[in-house]
Amino acid sequence: MPPEDPEAPAMPPGPLFGSGRRVADAATNVRRRVSTVLGLPDRPASPVLRPVVAVDGPPTPAPRGLVLRPALLGFVALLAVAVGASLPSSPFKLEMPHTWFFGVPAHGGASNWGVYFSLAAVYGGLLLLMRVWWGMSRLYARSPGVPTSQLWWVFLLWALPMLVIAPLFSRDIYSYAAQGEMVSRHLSPYHYGPFELGNNSFTAPVDPLWGNAPAPYGPLFLQIDGFFARITGHNELATVVLLRLLAFAGVVLMAAFIPRLARLYHRDGAEVFTLAVLNPVVILHLIGGAHNDALMLGFLIAGITLAKEGRPVVGLVLCAVATAVKAPAAVGALYIGWNWLGPYVPVRDRIRPLITAGLIGGAVMEFFSFTSGLGWGWIGSLLSPGVVRSWMAPTTAAAYLATDLAHVVGFGVHMGTVLSATRFFGMLGGGILCLWLLGNSDRIGSLRALGMSLLVIVLLGPVDQPWYLTWGLVALAPVARGRLRSGLIGLSMFSAFLSLPGAAQLIGNLVHGDPLSIVLTLLWLLVVLTVPLSTIERPAISSGQHDHSAGELSGVALG
């Protein structure tokens, strides 16, 4: 008999379990009657005999404090980020006139107090957001049953400040807009970089690192991108707004399917929704930064969910659509084909489903490649991120370290040669590890192996960005338990601060600034770090719906 699938839903309680529960209840009633007759205090039953709240049972009304208080605190945190990032001369957005509706740099420059306020507000808001999100993840793990519909309002409330302000922490959206303008003017982004358009409003905000790099995105995204440029009358700012809304739509699509995927794995919908959709990296980077990874993740999660629900063809089509936005989503189609016939199937029986999955995915990609008029040039452009050297990518960091060490010991090596070697071995090792995860997915769990494969692609790829980590973090959320769940939370909180601009400036201002500004900034950060958030969990204990013992037991079961 094959071993149990680690992701298989738990079996319902059998007759033996039901009989034991009835005996325990009868014993409790007898004890209470005896205590009443003898005048003894009525003690609560042992926590071991208390039932754990069913994860997949009918939702019960949740106390307002379980949702309202963390929702408002998170909104305050994101509002602080939005205000701090919108001030003139803020380092968290592009400081260039006509790139957004407000926050244009002041002609006379920003005052020291304005810079202090911007840095303190953003970093203070980020710290508060991390604390609130972490508390919510713990709270819903211990008190399952909160309706997911209530968390939709939290999501919309948190997303609102990110939709209003200028694109945060990255200039990628301006590259998207320029590439859309190229498509609308029949210039292939697979052959040329945005600077091919010349000096205009579309190319001025583009990061010079990507100005001459071909686009690594799929034909569907570039087709939508070009459509936006045309319908806005080739207005750069209007195109940016539509791209921001497109990213938001991708997160909404992901949020619609995450609870369904959680139910398939008998997980509490509120907890998984918090881990995946209310994740700070999703809110700050996918919505705030308006990255097309959001649209890719929306189609990917939808495809995986429908395939898990017994509709593999529809799931394959959606994963192929996600691949037509960004290539890493092809891993989802690979796993659907591999698990088409179920777990513990011999490899030889998986070949035909894999071929079928490849044909379906190839047909969808051919459709978008043909209708967009861009052809299959996107395959050759997949290596274009390699022209940019990002120290956050472990392979690039290893190349820098190896080159410096070689120079210290007297060996003259070229950085480009070392970088090519580290990236080659990184991609080779990543490919081997992904194949191992695929081959052992029956033992590891298919969704867990899929999410880990996406993280491997990011960590061993040529370029690493904080929002890339959402590929694996969102996929792992429905199956994250124990150490994996702790790792998901820790990686999300760490990556939300990764590569944020202004950190060095904040430290420099605190060291060299005037005493009053330093004191006020440190006082604000101290308030953020010490503000009591324990009141969020009090309604869960005092309401009587989820007592402390049951909460701890359910936390063990889910965490």
Quick one: three-class SS letters along 486-548?
Answer: HHHHHHHHHHHHCCCCCHHHHHHHHHHCCHHHHHHHHHHHHHHHHCCCHHHCHHHHHCCCCCH
Rounded to 10 deg, the angle between the 347-372 and 330-338 helix axes is 150
* In a domain? residue 403: yes
Q: Of the candidates 58, 263, 68, 250, which has an alpha carbon nearest to the alpha carbon of residue 151?
A: 68
pLDDT exceeds 70 at position 47 = no
First to last CA, the chain: 28
The pLDDT assigned to 36 comes to: 44
554 and 142 Cβ atoms separated by less than 8 Å: yes
Max mean pLDDT among 269-283, 399-413, 423-437, 492-506 falls in 269-283
Flag whether pLDDT at 449 surpasses 80.
Answer: yes
Q: Is residue 426 part of a domain?
A: yes
CA–CA distance, 322 with 305 (Å, rounded to integer):
14
Quick check: is 10 in a domain?
Answer: no
Which of 43-47, 299-303, 417-421, 459-463 is the least confident region?
43-47
Is pLDDT above 60 for 60?
no
Q: Which one of 26-35, 191-200, 252-261, 548-557 scores highest in mean pLDDT?
A: 252-261
Q: What is the pLDDT of residues 316-335, one digit of tens each?
A: 999 999 999 999 999 999 99
- Does pLDDT of 100 surpass 50? yes
**Which band of pLDDT confidence, cut at 50, 70 and 90, is reported for residue 478?**
very high
For the stretch 74-97, pLDDT in tens is 999 999 999 988 888 788 888 888
Say if CB 59 and CB 147 are below 8 A apart. Answer: yes
User: Using 50, 70 and 90 to split pLDDT, how confident is the model at 113?
Assistant: low
In a domain, 197, yes or no: no
Contact 454, 475 (CB under 8 A): yes
- SS3 string of 91-113? CCCCCCCCCCCCCCCCCCCCCHH
pLDDT digits (tens, 9 = 90+) for 268-279: 999 999 999 999
Write down the mean pLDDT value for the chain: 80
DSSP assignment string, 170-200: --HHHHHHHHHHHHHTT--TTTS-GGGG-SS
Q: Using alpha carbons, select from 162, 136, 139 the residue that is nearest to residue 81.
A: 162
Using a CB cutoff of 8 Å and minimum separation of 24, what contacts does 468-473 make? 468/293, 469/281, 469/495, 470/279, 470/281, 470/282, 470/285, 470/286, 470/293, 470/297, 471/293, 471/296, 471/297, 471/328, 473/276, 473/279, 473/281
CA–CA gap between residue 127 and residue 493 (Å, rounded)? 9
Tokens 């490899």 correspond to: 347
Domain that holds residue 417: 389-462
| Total of domains in the chain | 1
Task: Using pLDDT thresholds of 50, 70 and 90, give the confidence band for residue 396.
Answer: confident
Three-class SS of residue 69?
helix
CA dihedral (434, 438, 443, 446) positive or negative:
positive
Tokens of 191: 């052959």
Q: How far is CA 71 from CA 16, 163, 262, 277, 456, in A?
A: 42, 17, 22, 13, 33
Summarised one tens digit per residue, pLDDT across range 339-378 is: 999 889 999 999 999 999 999 999 999 999 999 888 887 7
Q: DSSP string spanning 131-174?
A: HHHHHHHHHHHHS----HHHHHHHHHHHHHHHHHSPPPS--HHH
Question: What's the rounded mean pLDDT across residues 156-177?
Answer: 94
pTM of the model: 0.82
Q: Helix, strand, or coil here: 314?
A: helix
State the pLDDT at residue 338.
95
> Is residue 301 one of the residues assigned to a domain?
no
Would you say residue 400 lies in a domain?
A: yes
Residue at 266 is within a domain: no
Query: Residue 77: left (phi > 0), alpha (psi -120 to 50), or beta?
Result: alpha
- Planar angle of CA 471, 343, 301, nearest 5 degrees: 25
142 inside domain: no
Q: Compute the C-alpha angle 136/142/143, nearest 5°.
A: 85
Rg (CA), the chain: 26
